[in-house]
Structure 1
Amino acid sequence: MRTTSTTSLALVVALGLALTGCASPAGSAGNTAESNSADGSQSASSPEAPEPVDLTGEWAQSNKGSGSKHVATIVDDTITIYWVNAEDESKSLYWAGSVEQPEDATAAFTWDSVNDTSKTGSALLASSDDQKTFTLDGDTISYEAAALGETWTVELEQTSTTPAAAPADDQDTTGEYDVTIEDATFAKDYAGEPAIVVSYEFTNNSDEAANFMTAIHDQAFQSGVELESAIVDDVDSALSMSDIKPGTTVTIQEAYVLRDETTVSVEVRELFSFSEAVLTSEEFSVKQ
């Protein structure tokens, strides 16, 4: 009887161990399923959308340039760009225009900036373009600049998120030379051809002696066609080649051969300038 009881007990223990061994994998599988389910839920969560870029602040030219480089200030929906002289750090306005940034803009977009001619119109070194295309690519803003017949790409990188104060208004109001078109008269050139004689008031505001011929580019047009220079008696053409000291003002006369009786348009620019900006212009009727 004792042997039978012991055998029965052994069978019960063996059966219990067997049942426990079978249950354990099931439990592990259940835990694994729960873990996989949790991991799947975590993987399915949506990533946060990137925040739109903020261009506000100071920007400086990062690629190689000439003796002068560009710096820019962006505030709200405006961008203002200056030439910076490498020698004395003086600034001259190059561009003042709009910034059109998409609401969902991130790391790359392009916009066409409209020129604010109320600011650039009187700036000697400012661009005369109606609009300029800017591109943001990563951390760089790029655009094309042109001067003296050459075009190149400027690249700007942000140096500060705090906009700097604009230069004083009087820093860029006076150029190296000041020219006023005073009046015009009519005469005959040495060959008897009709000519117009234009009088210019020329002031040297620079720090060195200068003359009208090498400092100023004067042009006269009829129907969009440039007129040739004329040689006219009583016009002292040599005066335009005479140097005048800083602060001096002289009256210069230049003569041009007339093509017909259409209106004459006269334009004056600096001969050597980063800009094609017109210093002054005037129109004269040929019909008397």
Structure 2
Amino acid sequence: MKKTLALTAAAALMLGLTACGASEDSNTGSPAAQAETSSAPAVEKAPSLDGTWKQTNSESEDSYQEATIEGDTITVNWISNNGDTKSLYWVGTFEAPATTAKTTITSQGDTEQMSTAMMASSSETKDFTYEDEELSYELTALGTTTTVRMEKQD
């Protein structure tokens, strides 16, 4: 055991000393090492959800839901009268997705703020699904459940 540990430490020390001895002007490595670096898969960038999202499946042009996302906060309002009237439906925090693949985002509701709004959800959490640049969630009002689909506006 001690012998293995000593050999591992010696190998690490040799590797470290070899790396420290390389100059910045030296060749970037063997052709095989260069090919390995250039063929590495591109890192997928997490989507930015920040901005205004508008419901795309409303049956009315002047009445729909709109979400505003800033950082880790999402606020969803009922919009009516061509935007002249806004009523709070949801406000909460969430952890942004780390991938562009389909993902479910669970928002922790600000129940204190929503408790004073007549049209707000009474849930403590709400699941939002992000897929193919669309944000969707289930909404239940007056015993009817529908899926709201939203598209980013800006």
Does structure 1 residue 54 correspond to structure 2 residue 48? yes
Distance in 2 separating the partners of 1:119 and 1:127: 11
The answer for the alignment partner of 1:113 in structure 2 is 107
Match of 1:75 among 70, 73, 80: 70
Which runs of 5 or more residues in structure 2 are unaligned?
1-30
Tell me whether 82-91 or 56-65 shows the greater mean CA deviation.
82-91
Which runs of 5 or more residues in structure 1 are unaligned?
1-36, 161-288
Distance in 2 separating the partners of 1:57 and 1:47: 29
Q: What is the one-letter code of the residue matched to 1:116? A: D
Q: What is the one-letter code of the residue matched to 1:152? A: T
Call closer, same or farther: CA 1:125–1:100 in 2, change over 3 Å: same
Distance in 1 separating the partners of 2:36 and 2:99: 28
Call closer, same or farther: CA 1:43–1:78 in 2, change over 3 Å: closer
Call closer, same or farther: CA 1:85–1:54 in 2, change over 3 Å: same
Distance in 1 separating the partners of 2:39 and 2:82: 56
Does structure 1 residue 153 correspond to structure 2 residue 147? yes
3-state DSSP class of the match of 1:118? helix
RMSD: 2.3
Call closer, same or farther: CA 1:146–1:101 in 2, change over 3 Å: same
Query: How far did residue 107 of structure 1 move?
Result: 3.4
Call closer, same or farther: CA 1:87–1:48 in 2, change over 3 Å: closer
Q: What is the one-letter code of the residue matched to 1:79? A: I
Does structure 1 residue 97 correspond to structure 2 residue 92? yes
Alpha-carbon contact 1:53-1:107 (below 8 Å) kept: no
Call closer, same or farther: CA 1:47–1:87 in 2, change over 3 Å: closer
Does structure 1 residue 123 correspond to structure 2 residue 117? yes
Call closer, same or farther: CA 1:87–1:46 in 2, change over 3 Å: closer
Distance in 1 separating the partners of 2:53 and 2:65: 9
Alpha-carbon contact 1:70-1:83 (below 8 Å) kept: yes
Distance in 2 separating the partners of 1:43 and 1:131: 43
3-state DSSP class of the match of 2:112? helix
Percent of aligned positions with the same letter in both sequences? 40
State how 1:222-241 maps to structure 2 within 5 Å: none
Distance in 1 separating the partners of 2:124 and 2:41: 42
State how 1:180-259 maps to structure 2 within 5 Å: none
Distance in 1 separating the partners of 2:138 and 2:84: 22
3-state DSSP class of the match of 1:126? coil
- Give the greater-gyration-radius structure (CA): 1
